[in-house]
Amino acid sequence: MKRAFLAAVALLAASTAQAEFKLDARYTDADGDMIADIPTDAGKLVDPSTLIFAYTPVEDPAVYAEAWKDFLAHMESVTGKKVQFFPVDSNAAQIEAMRAGRLHVAGFNTGSNPLAVACAGFRPFTMMAKADGSFGYEMEIITHPGSGIEKVEDLKGKKLAFTSETSNSGYKAPSALLKAEYGLVAGTDFEPVFSGKHDNSILGVANKDYPAAAIANSVMSRMIEREVIKPEQVVSIYKSQTFPTTGYGIAHNVTPELQEKIKEAFFSFKWEGSSLEAEFSKSGEAQFIPITFKDTWAVIRQIDEATGVSYDCK
């Protein structure tokens, strides 16, 4: 299935006119790593007394404010700065906050990472992984028992819930797949609806508000572990290749010294017994590992190309 998905995306990308990925004009990339350089002009650097941290808006912010509590205390200890958790209700709001200088450290979801890099000067450097170093999640298309949907082709004429247009698994990947591999086009062959978040889509299917939805299965795993839904309430009819999960990084104009301290906080954090482990072990995560946007996000940029995504920053 992975090979079929990649082949379908490659064919669709070849037929889609799309500009090459590039950063907004306010950023430079002299070293060719595809992320914004740290400014060399000291007057353009920031050294905030309080670091603002935001986690991607995929589920209830209250749950994740508590989940990140121990990690943020560790970041305070390592950096010598106060750290404040900033709940965001949309990917667009999170990107705009960093672009405007109100957000210093963040986890951007898979699909919005390229836009955050291009438009907000986001410098991703790590992601969560399992104890053995493996990482990622799959996009699944789910339905509920009795929906009459048993295979992807049965989505024709039905409603399909997406999350938001910046989400990889919640919109871009399934859109590319459905068009390239099954000839199903949103608005023509099925009715797209937008739930805003993965948990809304998953709950919507479980409660039979939506006949089907495209979701990230890591989110679904955590919801099942927390007993928000029961496994028997949903049925998967498609599972994609593995994608990189939320990428964590820093605003480009934070001082180099502070950026190094923030990185140290991620890589020195002890998961065992922490609030972070309590939440994210539900989907198998057990550590932070180094990543690069250029390599780790290559497949996501290919999906963006196939779906005609624009990185114009307005």
Average pLDDT per block of 10 residues along the chain, 314 residues long: 53 53 95 97 97 85 90 98 94 94 96 95 98 94 97 97 92 90 94 94 97 95 94 96 94 98 98 96 95 94 84 80
* Same-domain pairing of 58 and 129: yes
- pLDDT at position 150, please? 97
Give CA–CA dist 81/254, Å, rounded: 13
* Same-domain pairing of 163 and 129: no
Give the residue numbers spanning the domain of 175.
Answer: 137-243
* Same-domain pairing of 130 and 15: yes
- pLDDT at position 107, please? 97
* Same-domain pairing of 143 and 222: yes
Give me the number of domains the chain comprises. Answer: 2
- pLDDT at position 63, please? 82
* Same-domain pairing of 231 and 270: no
Cα→Cα distances 69→63, 72, 276, Å: 10, 5, 8
Give CA–CA dist 7/2, Å, rounded: 9
- pLDDT at position 59, please? 62
Last residue of a domain, one of 243, 258, 290: 243
Q: Does residue 102 form part of some domain?
A: yes
* Same-domain pairing of 32 and 113: yes
- pLDDT at position 6, please? 55
* Same-domain pairing of 20 and 114: yes
Burial grade of 207 (CB within 10 A; 0-12, 13-18, 19 or more)? exposed
Q: Does residue 314 form part of some domain?
A: no
* Same-domain pairing of 181 and 33: no
* Same-domain pairing of 127 and 165: no
- pLDDT at position 93, please? 93
* Same-domain pairing of 18 and 129: yes
Instruction: Give me the residue label for tokens 């190094």.
Output: 260
Instruction: Give me the residue label for tokens 């007057």.
Output: 43
* Same-domain pairing of 218 and 127: no
- pLDDT at position 133, please? 95
Last residue of a domain, one of 217, 243, 269: 243
Give CA–CA dist 121/283, Å, rounded: 29
Q: Does residue 71 form part of some domain?
A: yes
- pLDDT at position 3, please? 45
